Structure 1
Amino acid sequence: IDVEGKIVIARYGGSWRRIKPKVAAEHGAIGTILFSDPIDDGFVAGDVYPDGPYRMEHGVQRGSVLDMPQYPGDPLTPGYGATAGAERLAIDEAPTIMKIPVLPISYSDATPLLEAMGGPVAPRSWQGGLPFTYHIGPGPATVRLHLEFDWDLAPALNVVARIEGSEYPDEWIVRGNHRDGWALGAADPISGLVTLMEEARAIGELMETGWRPRRTIVYAAWDAEEPALLGSTEWAEHHGAELREKAALYINTDGTGRGFLNAGGSHSLERFITQIARDVDDPKTEATVLERLNAAIAANGDFEEAMRDDIRLSPLGSGSDYTPFLQHLGIPSLNLSFGGESGGGSYHSQYDSFDHYTRFIDPDFAYGVTLTKVTGRATLRFAQADVLPYRFSNLADNVSMYAEEIEEIADRMRQETTQRNRLIQEGLIELAADPTEPFVAPSPDEAVPHFNFAPLLNAIAELESEARAYDGLLQTVQAQGLSASQMARVNQNVMEIEQLLTDERGLPKRPWFRHQIYAPGFYTGYGVKTLPGIREAIEEREFELVDEQMRRISDAIERVNARLEEAAAILGRPVT
């Protein structure tokens, strides 16, 4: 399919919106039109607004198409805060700014364009919900795409409040949610922002009694999240050195709905968030939030996961304000919401209104209140803990699982490549093709080599041992009592462990992303890639990068192992 010099029309879905014009531009397209198809969030999914929650025919989904998998934030100040006097790139030098025009439209406006297209019939998986057959093109339809852009600089205004800690003022809990939206923004972001405001109000009432948190709490309402995580990223970059020294946890929300707890974040926080979910009641049942979540996991067929001791936190990719804290600075992070029973098609459109939210999403705000109970407990328990409640055995368990996944990917790719190359070389693919249709024979792929996973697997085995030793010793020593000196030394030691999983050199082709365990995929956008340096080198067939990425991830894990050994020694473990 040749898109050179053409305008591409693409459905939302399947990957993050920016990936579609990105790939189109890489192949020579001069413009992209994006539309929301009714098969995804329109009349095929359910009744459309105003009768139901799904996207009506004139609903347009907005959204940024900056290349955030390279770096988020101000495109003109990569890696440093966009303050008034900051040095800025020229607009045509900024690598994250899309080089071709992109326009979102409704499925009503997409209909005449799609109906006028000819060429081959689109594959079944590309067909949508409109009442005609979709064709690939090119043409014979033509379209004129005219967009205008405002390149003026404007300030992004974060609202930040700080409550000084009474005992550990230099250990921070940062709690954030963005405050800007594409239109009315009832669900995204206001439903999340009001939970932050309610949490802060409750803590304010506590303070009126004379109470003060032991650690400093920072509340932030980020501006300009929607264009490119601007407010949070520039703030985190500008205060990066201080955050690396002081931040023990970042807790993010970004809207919420009705149903089950959605929890993602640093795996060392799994036991912590599980204990909170056990202590908060679901507002519509007689069960706890944890019991209801595990019931849903079991009902969906994953009994083993439902029986796991702790909630498995989803690894974080990108798409919200945790990104600069976790993946650039290495601050332990959580992203929390409720959902699963409040689907709809208002996302990023003018229909994301108070009316839509209160009729279809969380009509009595019961789950918004519940999210406040979850996040409020998370903030306060971290702020008040004697020893910061990380549990590193969970980190080891998940990293081991990711390594196994990548070994399986490499083995499967090797087998599939061998089989496919044989089909090509023996002419079997061409022979099996329909002779009445145009056919271009594919080229063979490079054979997938065998990779040396031993350094990574050895580092993970040691991580499992060191984490088990630290977690077990901490539990024993806490029961006996810790001295103030021990608590202070251990906390300073383990606060920095997430940072040890970063590498200042960053990932290939995108040095801003430093975390070696979690990153958004270069071609998935929001979607996470775990052990990203190795995984993407294999998936993208850049095999020459694998050994170096294997070393970097192994070295990062070894740094954690050494730090856990130090922490255990503070708790009284004999040094061997």
Structure 2
Amino acid sequence: MTLGTANIEANLKDLTSRPHLAGLPEDLESAEVVAERWKNDGLLVIKPKYNVLLSYPDDNNLNRVTLTSDDGSVIIQTNGTEKVYDSAQAKTVNPFLAYTPNGTVNSTKLFYGNYGALEDLQKLASVVGNASLQGSIIIMRYGSIFRGDKIMHAQYFGAIGAILYNDPADYAPFGTTADQVYDQKWYMPPSGAQRGSVLILDGDPLTPIYPSTDYMYRLKEENVKYLPKIPAQPIGYAEAQVILQYLEGNEVPVQWRGALPNVTYRYGGELHNGSDAWSLGAIDPTSGTATMLEITRVLGEMYKNGFRPRRSLMFCSWGAEEYGLIGSMEYVQEYVKVPSAYDAPGQTVYDKWMRVNRNNITDEPKLAYGLGSGSDFFSFDQLVGSSNMDARYTYNSAEQRNIASHPLYHTSYEVFSMMKKFVDPDFTAHRTMGQFIGVLVLLLSETPVLQFNVTRYTMALMQAMNNLKPNDPTILDPLRNAINDFGKTAEDFVARSKLMDRE
């Protein structure tokens, strides 16, 4: 049984033919496609349902940012949409930030807050004064921290509204001319605007910790402290360029400066003669779903031919991940008591991994311990403490001038043609990742005694502790002793597991 690149390509093309914003009919249609495929492959399919709080933009009333002059004439009004490069592309949701409140805010004060990190806004406040930030609007660039934290930080410092944009320094590092951005390259074009959730809690905000089943008690929306209280809107950097050109005040330090042409980055405050009145997902997450469908097809064929794994295998496709890992979080909260290519001939994935990312101390590929909170593994990792992993092919960061993520992330340009043209034209990387995950699944399901090398946790814990810089280093002595004790026990566990009967 082999995985086919043509099958993966067809899966991705089909799944990206419709937008799949959580809770809408198109998303249900995509879920039904996956469910039907799994049934045909011989899998038992279950469909748990949850009632959760989601938010949507109003396509009849576009979200806009308007800059007006003293006499009321409009200097610039943002489009509230993105430029369409392919007329055949399916309609996508217009740029918005999920869970920001509806409303219109007006201010004569506009400030630039860099990435919106706490230290950025503390620096801004120290320059312009805390009082000046009260009742203002703050424009910040994407990157460095979670977008929801940017909004909450602006709110904390007294802003009544926030604007986010993708600066070319982070998303179009080779320039903003037409030949250097989408649809000629995979970098952010001038009108691109990143959608996304700003919820700083994972899961349904109305039922924190608990599953959002029909019988569950729900908080009132106005009492949820994790929801922002100020409106916010993402815009394209071409629109941000015009707005930033009108800022006055002192120039910002070098590390705050982006790469917008003809812009002198300033802290802002007084406006120059004026007053300030998610998508098809070809990379995130659908490329993974397309590959998973091919894995389940092959395993389904093996099952029909008599294969029975020693351990149960569960393949999951959750909704509302982009809103805050809601589908997977609610599932884990409900079932919390129930323990988610282009190489030279002859080279393996392991060979390539060793060549580009070797751990010189252990002489093995580097592993990044700690999965963070960026995807559906978070609930399993942080709530139930299961063993989890995430694997991916990614770009060479040095060649891409250290961009933070794939540049078209959460824009309407994250489409099948972009994947086909710029990322994985022949779907070799997809197939290789599918083969890797498929073999790993078989090993984990068939090996009688799983050889967990828990001594790795000792190294990870020690490294995490060494990253702490307390004023009094002796305060960490009890923690260091506990890690050392764990290390001895871990070594004993590994030694004993190797003596167990493998069959």
Mark yes or no: TM-score above 0.5: yes
Match of residue 544 from structure 1: none
Deviation at 1:449, TM superposition (A): 4.2
The residue type equivalent to 2:232 in the other structure is V
Deviation at 1:314, TM superposition (A): 3.6
Match of residue 191 from structure 1: 287
Q: 1:136 aligns with which of 267, 274, 282?
A: 267
Q: Deviations over 1:46-70 (max 9, x none)?
A: 81011111011011111111113xx
Residue 188 of structure 2 is aligned to residue 92 of structure 1: no
Match of residue 352 from structure 1: 414
Q: 1:309 aligns with which of 364, 367, 376?
A: 364
Identify the range of structure 1 (343-352 vs 50-59) with the bigger mean alpha-carbon deviation.
Answer: 343-352
The residue type equivalent to 1:337 in the other structure is R
Deviation at 1:389, TM superposition (A): 2.9
Q: Deviations over 1:164-204 (max 9, x none)?
A: xxxxxxxxxxxxxxxxxx21111111111111111111110
CA gap of 1:296–1:455, structure 2 versus 1, over 3 A, is same
- After TM superposition, list the pairs within 5 Å mapping 1:421-460 onto structure 2: 448-460=471-483
Q: 1:9 aligns with which of 108, 125, 139?
A: 139
Structure 1 residue runs without a partner (length 5+): 146-181, 245-249, 251-258, 260-281, 411-447, 484-576
Residue 230 of structure 2 is aligned to residue 230 of structure 1: no
Q: Return structure 1 stretches of 4+ with deviation > 4 angstroms.
A: 141-145, 282-285, 341-344
The residue type equivalent to 2:301 in the other structure is E
Structure with greater contact order relative to length (CA < 8 Å, sep ≥ 6) = 2
The residue type equivalent to 1:225 in the other structure is E
CA gap of 1:205–1:283, structure 2 versus 1, over 3 A, is farther
Contact 2:140 2:164 in 1 (8 A): yes
The residue type equivalent to 2:482 in the other structure is A
CA gap of 1:482–1:376, structure 2 versus 1, over 3 A, is closer
CA distance in 1, matches of 2:384, 2:276: 44
The residue type equivalent to 2:318 in the other structure is W
Residue 192 of structure 2 is aligned to residue 59 of structure 1: yes
Contact 2:191 2:238 in 1 (8 A): yes
Contact 1:122 1:135 in 2 (8 A): yes
Residue 389 of structure 2 is aligned to residue 334 of structure 1: yes
Q: Deviations over 1:12-56 (max 9, x none)?
A: 112221221111111111111000011111253681011111011
Match of residue 164 from structure 1: none
The residue type equivalent to 1:139 in the other structure is E
CA gap of 1:353–1:192, structure 2 versus 1, over 3 A, is same
CA gap of 1:398–1:73, structure 2 versus 1, over 3 A, is same
The residue type equivalent to 1:110 in the other structure is A
Contact 1:116 1:140 in 2 (8 A): yes
CA gap of 1:316–1:119, structure 2 versus 1, over 3 A, is same
Match of residue 293 from structure 1: 353
Deviation at 1:450, TM superposition (A): 4.9
Match of residue 571 from structure 1: none
Q: Deviations over 1:200-236 (max 9, x none)?
A: 1111000011111111111111111111111111111
Contact 1:225 1:231 in 2 (8 A): yes
Match of residue 159 from structure 2: 29
The residue type equivalent to 1:183 in the other structure is S
Secondary structure of residue in 2 paired with 1:186: coil
Identify the range of structure 1 (204-213 vs 312-321) with the bigger mean alpha-carbon deviation.
Answer: 312-321
Q: 2:183 aligns with which of 40, 50, 61?
A: 50
CA distance in 2, matches of 1:87, 1:327: 23
Q: 2:441 aligns with which of 368, 379, 395?
A: 379
CA distance in 2, matches of 1:113, 1:402: 42
Contact 1:44 1:129 in 2 (8 A): no
CA gap of 1:396–1:133, structure 2 versus 1, over 3 A, is same
Q: Deviations over 1:251-272 (max 9, x none)?
A: xxxxxxxx7xxxxxxxxxxxxx
Structure 2 residue runs without a partner (length 5+): 1-124, 401-405
Match of residue 430 from structure 1: none
Match of residue 499 from structure 1: none
CA distance in 2, matches of 1:13, 1:144: 24
CA gap of 1:17–1:221, structure 2 versus 1, over 3 A, is same
- After TM superposition, list the pairs within 5 Å mapping 1:151-550 onto structure 2: 182-241=278-337, 243-244=338-339, 250=340, 283=343, 286-297=346-357, 304=360, 308-309=363-364, 311-341=366-396, 344-406=406-468, 409-410=469-470, 448-475=471-498, 477-478=499-500, 481=501
CA distance in 2, matches of 1:387, 1:191: 32
CA distance in 2, matches of 1:389, 1:183: 41
Q: Deviations over 1:427-467 (max 9, x none)?
A: xxxxxxxxxxxxxxxxxxxxx34542222111111111111
Higher helix fraction (1 or 2): 1
Secondary structure of residue in 1 paired with 2:322: helix
CA gap of 1:106–1:285, structure 2 versus 1, over 3 A, is farther
CA distance in 2, matches of 1:401, 1:346: 33
The residue type equivalent to 2:300 in the other structure is G
Deviation at 1:284, TM superposition (A): 5.3
CA gap of 1:143–1:359, structure 2 versus 1, over 3 A, is farther
Match of residue 82 from structure 1: 212
CA distance in 2, matches of 1:371, 1:450: 43
The residue type equivalent to 2:347 in the other structure is A
Contact 1:37 1:128 in 2 (8 A): yes
CA distance in 2, matches of 1:310, 1:127: 36
Q: Deviations over 1:239-282 (max 9, x none)?
A: 111x23xxxxx3xxxxxxxx7xxxxxxxxxxxxxxxxxxxxxx6
CA distance in 2, matches of 1:45, 1:123: 21
CA gap of 1:459–1:75, structure 2 versus 1, over 3 A, is same
Secondary structure of residue in 2 paired with 1:338: coil
Deviation at 1:283, TM superposition (A): 4.8
CA distance in 2, matches of 1:458, 1:390: 23
The residue type equivalent to 2:304 in the other structure is E
The residue type equivalent to 1:60 in the other structure is A
| Overall identity of the aligned pairs, in % | 31
Contact 1:43 1:55 in 2 (8 A): no
Match of residue 101 from structure 1: 231
Secondary structure of residue in 2 paired with 1:367: helix
CA distance in 1, matches of 2:451, 2:331: 26
Contact 2:455 2:487 in 1 (8 A): yes
Count residues with an aligned counterpart. 361
Secondary structure of residue in 2 paired with 1:219: coil
Match of residue 248 from structure 2: 118
CA distance in 1, matches of 2:290, 2:344: 20
CA gap of 1:133–1:9, structure 2 versus 1, over 3 A, is same
Secondary structure of residue in 1 paired with 2:309: coil
